[in-house]
Structure 1
C-alpha cells in the first residue's frame, strides 16, 4: 500500500519500511547498506512503474493461443543522478533490464549549496520514453530540479522521480519547479538541518554506499 498527496507518493509497504530502518542505523555496514539499497530500489521500482502503457500480443501457452498483456512503446529511460543514484539504478535495472540508461553528474557547491554540472549523457528519443530519474536523497531539491531541467532540455516530457528519502523542503522545491514530475519515495522525513542534510535521514547515501567515510 502507498499513500499519495498530489504529486508525492510515499511507499509504506512493510518490507520497504523495515529495510529502510536498517539502512538508517549508523551501525549498518557498507556491504549490507548497499544490498538493502538494491532490494529497496526494486520495491520502489514496482511503485514508480505503476501505470506503464500496455498493449497485447498473441502468444501460445502450453494450453492454447491467447492475447496477452505486454509493455507498450519505447523502452523506458533510467537516469542516475551521480554518484549516489547508481545505488538505486542497480536495483531498478534488475527489474527492468531492457531499460536505456543515462547519467547526470551534479555536485553540490558546499558554499552556495547550488548544483554544478560535470557530466551529462542520456539515451536518444527521450520525448518518446518514460524517464525515471533516480537519486536516494531529495534534500534541498536543488540538484534534483537542475537534473530535471537538463532532462527537459534534452526532450523528456514524461518524467518521474524516484528517491529513498525526501525532506519537505525538497518536495516543495520540486513541486514549485516541476509540478508535472511525480515523486515516489520510501519516507518523507522531518526537515533539513542547517547544512542541508535530511533529518533524521541516514547520513550521506553516497558515502555509506561506497564506504568513502
Structure 2
C-alpha cells in the first residue's frame, strides 16, 4: 500500500519559502530544515493509532486521555547528509526513537537515464527490524526516487518493519509514481509525507524550482 500527503500548512509553507530563497544563509537554511522536521513529525504522528489511558490528576480526579500506540517503536533512518537537520526536527517529536543512517549517493558522473540514476550505497548502520517497528526515513529531496528505493532495498535486507514513512521537504510526481510501484512490488505499507510536490526535474536530475543542493546549503560546503 502506498499513499502520499502534502503538508499544506501556512507555517510549513512560510518556512519552505525561506528555504527556496537563494539569499537565505547557511545557518537559517539549516534551522529551517529542523523546523520542517518537527512539522513533519507532528503530521506523521497524526497517522498513528491511539488507545484510552486513564490518569489521576493532582486534584484527585480521573482523567480519560489517550496513549499513542507504537510511539516507542519508532526508528528514524537518516539518508546522509542533507537530512541530518530534518532528523533533528523529527527527534523533537519522536524523542525515544532509535536511529540509523544510510550513506547513499547518486552517481551523477554517469548521468541520468530514463529519469533514474545509478545509486551507490556506501554505508548502512540501522537497528534490526523485527516486524513491529515504525520506520521513518528522513530525506530532504525526493527527486527521481532512486536513492530512496535503494535505501528501502537495503533496509528490507535487514528485516521488515510494520509500517514505513518517508519524511521529505520536496518531492516530485516522478518519484511518487516510482515509490508507489515499489511499495506494491515489495508488499510494504509506505506513506510519503512531504511539504511540497514540485513539478519538474531538469536534465541533471535537480528539482525545479526546488532548493538547490540542500546538503551544500545546510552545511556551507
With the length of structure 2 as denominator, give the TM-score of the two structures.
0.88
Gaps of 5+ in 2: 112-116
Deviation track 1:44-72 (CA, whole Å, cap 9, x = no partner) reads: 11112222132344422112133431223
1:169 aligns with 2:174: yes
Indicate the SS of the match to 1:127: coil
- Residue of structure 1 aligned with 2:199, choices 180, 190, 203: 190
Deviation track 1:15-64 (CA, whole Å, cap 9, x = no partner) reads: 10111011001110000001111111111111122221323444221121
Aligned to 2:114: none
- Residue of structure 1 aligned with 2:147, choices 140, 143, 149: 143
Instruction: State how 1:24-43 maps to structure 2 within 5 Å.
Output: 24-43=20-39
- Residue of structure 2 aligned with 1:104, choices 81, 102, 105: 102
Gaps of 5+ in 1: 1-5
Larger RCO (CA within 8 A; separation ≥ 6): 2
Alignment length (residue pairs): 207
CA shift for structure 1 position 166? 0.5
Partner Cα separation in structure 2 for residue 151 and residue 79 of structure 1: 9
With the length of structure 1 as denominator, give the TM-score of the two structures.
0.91
Deviation track 1:143-185 (CA, whole Å, cap 9, x = no partner) reads: 0011111222222331011100011111111111124311110
Partner Cα separation in structure 2 for residue 152 and residue 50 of structure 1: 25
Indicate the SS of the match to 1:22: helix
Partner Cα separation in structure 1 for residue 103 and residue 155 of structure 2: 12
Note closer, same or farther for the CA distance 1:81–1:46 as it changes in structure 2 (3 Å cut).
same
Give the alignment's Cα RMSD to 1 decimal: 1.6
Indicate the SS of the match to 1:201: coil
For the Cα contact (< 8 Å) 1:167–1:190, is it kept in 2? yes
| Residues 199-208 or 40-49, more deviating | 40-49
